[in-house]
Amino acid sequence: MNLRIGYGYDVHRLSNELSLVLGGVTIPHHKGCIAHSDGDVLLHGICDAILGAMALGDIGVHFPDTDTQYKNISSLILLRTVYDIMFKNSYSIVNIDSCITLERPKIMPYVLEMRQNIASVLSVPIDCVSIKATTNETLGFIGREEGITASAIVLLAKK
């Protein structure tokens, strides 16, 4: 069996009065991500992990922020497009493990819905999608609530 591991990472600055979207879920908060798309760092990290496992670059290559068609686009659409690329290359997802790092808000109440969104778009069982969250213990730009990061690792299998 041909197995491929991919790693993805994304970071966005936070700003007042913007929507905070994680895993395709809009989370009530007074700050959201500054981005060309909806700024969903979790889905961006997962997209990068899947593309990386196939050695096909990253989301910046496939969805450049200079292209107006991606302005304010839902990252669920980007993830679906990455899934289509993966499927055409005869890969399937074994599992995804991810972690979001932010000080606030607490996102655990939304994790199940995020997992359901991701599993649905990627046509995998929900138990193949793990999402964890942590703070930065008030250190650095994350601790000052200036930004948010997400990382993901994915295992793909060649069909």
pLDDT in tens, 90-121: 999 999 999 999 999 999 999 999 999 999 99
Q: How confident is the model at residue 14 (pLDDT cuts 50, 70, 90)?
A: very high
The closest of 4, 8, 108 to 49, measured between CA atoms, is: 8
Quote the number of domains for the chain: 1
Note down the domain range covering 58. 3-158
Q: In sequence order, what E strands does 61-126 have?
A: 91-101
Residue 110: CB atoms within 10 Å: 20
pLDDT score recorded for residue 1: 73
Tens digit of each residue's pLDDT (9 = 90 or more) over 52-89: 999 999 999 999 989 999 998 999 999 999 999 999 99
> Domain with 17 in it: what CATH number?
3.30.1330.50
Exposed, middle or buried by CB within 10 Å (0-12, 13-18, 19+), for 109? exposed
Q: Give the Cα separation of 78 and 58 in Å (integer).
A: 11
- The verdict on whether omega for the bond into residue 105 sits within 30 degrees of 0, i.e. cis, is yes
